[in-house]
Amino acid sequence: MFSIKRRLLLVGSTVILFFLLITAFALEKAFRSVADQARDERLHANIYTLLAAADLDGDSLQLPEMLPEQRLMLPDSGLYAYVLDNNHTVIWSSPSAIGLSKPQIELMSPGEEMMNTINSEKELQILQFGVSWQSYDQKDYQFTIAVIEDSKGYNQQIASYRKNLYGWLAALVVVLVVVQIYILRWGLSPLAKVERDISDIESGKNANLDGNYPKEINGITRNLNILIENERRRQKQYQDTLANLAHSLKTPLAVLKNEVDARESNSIMIEQVDRINSMVEYQLSRAALSGRITYTSAIKVLPIAEKLISALDKVFVDKKLICVLECNQDIQINAVEGDLMEILGNLLENAYKWSKTTINVRISQLDEAGSRIQGIKIVIDDDGPGINQSSIENILIRGGRADTTTPGHGIGLAVVKDLVDSYMGILDIGVSPVGGASISIEIPPR
């Protein structure tokens, strides 16, 4: 889909182009009209000059050898003149007309004039004007004076004007489009700022939109802030409700379980209470998944991993395990802190439970060109007995529910799988180099 900037640029440029084409057409037309008028006036002026210089000699009209208009004296100058009598005979032609084949000239009545264009060897513009000359003996003689101008100059003038006009207009188009780009960039910069600020919220650099925005988008940013805040509050309320639900379900379950265990009378009851317990545990954990919700902040992974390892070191102190953590302090992930704790906590607890001597934890950042949010890869290797193939298949392939449980790794691993799925990640269970379990998680960058 086109961006707003591109749309505005496209429409703006089309309007500019359309406007300038109409302007060019109008200007050219106006110029041509002015040029036509100037040529008419010029031809008329030449006719009046010839009339002024002419004198009647018998029944013919005489013109001096030296004419006031120099161009009429020079051969092939582009300005020619003819005088025809009433019998259509040329009684005079300008020296410039030597070599020019006489064009078709119409006889005009006195006072009548006609302008026309002739396309023969050359394009010629011809003005024919009828005059009546009275002799001393009161006799009227009619003549037709024709002044002819080669259109070459006129056409050159029009072409030169057109070249200039279109050159300037093209330059104007470029200037206007560039100016338009700058205007759009400046005009749309608040929107770009909103986009950047939202991106900062997504990547966790900011908690909300707190910039100065123009009044036109202030409403949107204010509503977005309210939306983000509501989303966070709703998420917290949801988690609190789940915590309360967990508390109110599991407390009576604890009583029931111990009561049933104590009586040791009915194995079906014990089994079913354990089953209810597993289901409640699993389904509550599932319901608590936050997943990759919008506007999660980026959190540093190292402090969380260190906290968990130090907590588990305390709990499993008797096992004297060595846990080696490889994690750069800059590694971060856009996730709810509780989700990351559940993923790492469950995996590490399993590793501590089953490992004999050493646990290796490697956490690395996954990045991709163009991604705004970085991904993460976690690999946890232990030297315990590993996880059997059927359990792996149950969890990974069949989307196994841990309430039909995998001893030791069950609910924890199934919760991790659901969490990783909710972050569109991949959970892989394999064999570590020392023969134990190797759990790998990839949450891809976005």
Q: Which is nearer to another protein, 280 or 298 (CB)?
A: 280
Q: How far is the CB of 330 from another protein (least distance, A)?
A: 22
Q: How far is the CB of 225 from another protein (least distance, A)?
A: 27
Q: Shortest CA distance to 150 belongs to which of 65, 43, 45? A: 43
Q: How far is the CB of 428 from another protein (least distance, A)?
A: 22
Q: Which is nearer to another protein, 103 or 338 (CB)?
A: 338
Burial (CB < 10 A; 0-12, 13-18, 19+), residue 82, is buried
Q: How far is the CB of 400 from another protein (least distance, A)?
A: 20
Q: Which is nearer to another protein, 93 or 285 (CB)?
A: 285
Q: Which is nearer to another protein, 149 or 339 (CB)?
A: 339
Q: How far is 305 from 291, CA to CA, in rounded Å?
A: 19
Q: How far is 92 from 227, CA to CA, in rounded Å?
A: 96
Q: Which is nearer to another protein, 43 or 308 (CB)?
A: 308
Q: How far is 198 from 254, CA to CA, in rounded Å?
A: 46
Q: How far is the CB of 311 from another protein (least distance, A)?
A: 4
Q: How far is the CB of 280 from another protein (least distance, A)?
A: 9
Q: Which is nearer to another protein, 311 or 426 (CB)?
A: 311
Give me the residues that bind another protein (CB under 8 A), please.
242-243, 246-247, 250-259, 261-262, 277, 281, 284-285, 288, 307-308, 310-311, 314-315, 317-318, 337-338, 341-342, 344-346
Residues in the chain: 446
Q: How far is the CB of 307 from another protein (least distance, A)?
A: 5
Q: How far is 229 from 106, CA to CA, in rounded Å?
A: 92
Q: Which is nearer to another protein, 65 or 264 (CB)?
A: 264
Q: How far is the CB of 317 from another protein (least distance, A)?
A: 6
Q: Which is nearer to another protein, 237 or 310 (CB)?
A: 310
